[in-house]
Structure formats: structure tokens, C-alpha cells
């Protein structure tokens, strides 16, 4: 419904700024708004297509990213270190500086980057496709 409000606002602004003769020319206004509508539909189609391509790529890349993260977590010992505060809270608090450096050293940065990049691309592409779909639905009403 925000799309429809925006469209009405655009129509008001256009009408306000048109020369006097064109304001009362119904044929001209209809042609103008049809052309605007056509352009918005075209942009929504392009956005949807690009979103779909990114979605497919991110879905394809998701599983390798998860495997990479798993392998790096297993090789680094990060998960063993992260559990220590739950079993030895007092000692970890006493040696928090060493513990923080150890976590930073063992963090599987590459695996986490790949994993979160895939998640981000997935969510972003779904959002783009949803927005494009909403524009197409509103304009077709």
C-alpha cells in the first residue's frame, strides 16, 4: 500500500508542475502515467531477475560455505575454547586477556566470512525479489 501512496504523491506533484494546458488534457495525462507505469514494471522485472540470480548463486554457495566453516572450526579448536567460560568462569575472568587473544587467534575467519556472506546474499536477494514482486502486483491493479 506504500507503493500506491507513493504513486498518488507522484501524480499530485506531476499535476501541480504541468503547464496549464496539459493539466486538463486527459489523454496526455493517461499516456504519461502509462509510460511511468511501464518503466516501473520494467525496472521491477530487472530487479526480480537479478535477485533470482543472486538467490540461486547464494543457495549453491551455502553448502560449501557451511562445510568450510565446519572444517575450520574442527581444525582450530575454537569451539573447545568458547565452552571454557561456562565451566571455569572464575579462571576465565582472571585470565580474560589471554582468553580474548586466544579466541581471536583461533577464530575461523575465512569460514565465518564465507558463511555470513552466503547468508547475507540469500537474505538480500529474497528482499529484492519481494520488493520487485510487490511493485509488479501494485502496478497491475
Round to whole Å and give the CA distance between 2 and 134: 10
Number of alpha helices (DSSP H) and beta strands (DSSP E) in the chain: 7, 0
Binding footprint of another protein, residue count (CB under 8 A): 22
Residue placing its CB nearer to another protein in the complex, 55 or 99: 99
**Angle, nearest 10°, between helix axes 109-140 and 26-76?**
160
Residue placing its CB nearer to another protein in the complex, 49 or 89: 89
Binding marks (x or -) toward another protein, 75..114, rule CB under 8 A?
xxx--xx--x--xx--xx--x--xx-xx-xxx---x----
Binding marks (x or -) toward another protein, 10..49, rule CB under 8 A?
----------------------------------------
Q: Which range in 10-18, 38-46, 71-79, 121-129 contacts another protein by CB under 8 A?
A: 71-79
Round to whole Å and give the CA distance between 69 and 114: 8
Task: State in Å, rounded, how far the first CA of the chain is from the last one.
Answer: 11
Residue placing its CB nearer to another protein in the complex, 31 or 91: 91
Among residues 45, 101, 111, 43, the alpha carbon closest in space to that of 75 is found at 111
Q: What is the CA angle 42-47-53, rounded to 5?
A: 130
Residue placing its CB nearer to another protein in the complex, 25 or 80: 80
Residue 111, C-alpha cell as written in the block: 569460514
| Interacting residues toward another protein by CB under 8 A | 71-72, 74-77, 80-81, 84, 87-88, 91-92, 95, 98-99, 101-102, 104-106, 110
Amino acid at each position: 500500500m506504500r507503493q500506491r501512496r507513493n504513486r498518488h504523491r507522484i501524480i499530485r506533484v506531476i499535476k501541480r508542475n504541468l503547464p496549464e494546458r496539459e493539466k486538463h488534457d486527459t489523454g496526455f495525462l493517461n499516456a504519461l502515467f502509462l509510460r511511468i507505469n511501464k518503466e516501473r514494471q520494467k525496472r521491477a522485472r530487472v530487479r526480480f531477475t537479478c535477485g533470482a540470480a543472486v538467490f540461486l548463486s547464494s543457495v549453491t554457495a551455502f553448502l560449501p560455505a557451511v562445510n568450510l566453516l565446519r572444517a575450520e572450526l574442527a581444525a582450530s579448536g575454537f569451539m573447545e575454547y568458547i565452552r571454557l567460560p561456562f565451566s571455569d568462569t572464575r579462571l576465565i575472568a582472571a585470565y580474560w586477556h589471554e582468553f580474548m587473544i586466544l579466541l581471536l587467534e583461533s577464530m575461523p575467519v575465512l569460514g565465518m566470512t564465507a558463511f555470513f556472506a552466503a547468508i547475507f546474499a540469500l537474505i538480500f536477494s529474497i528482499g529484492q525479489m519481494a520488493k520487485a514482486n510487490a511493485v509488479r502486483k501494485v502496478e497491475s491493479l
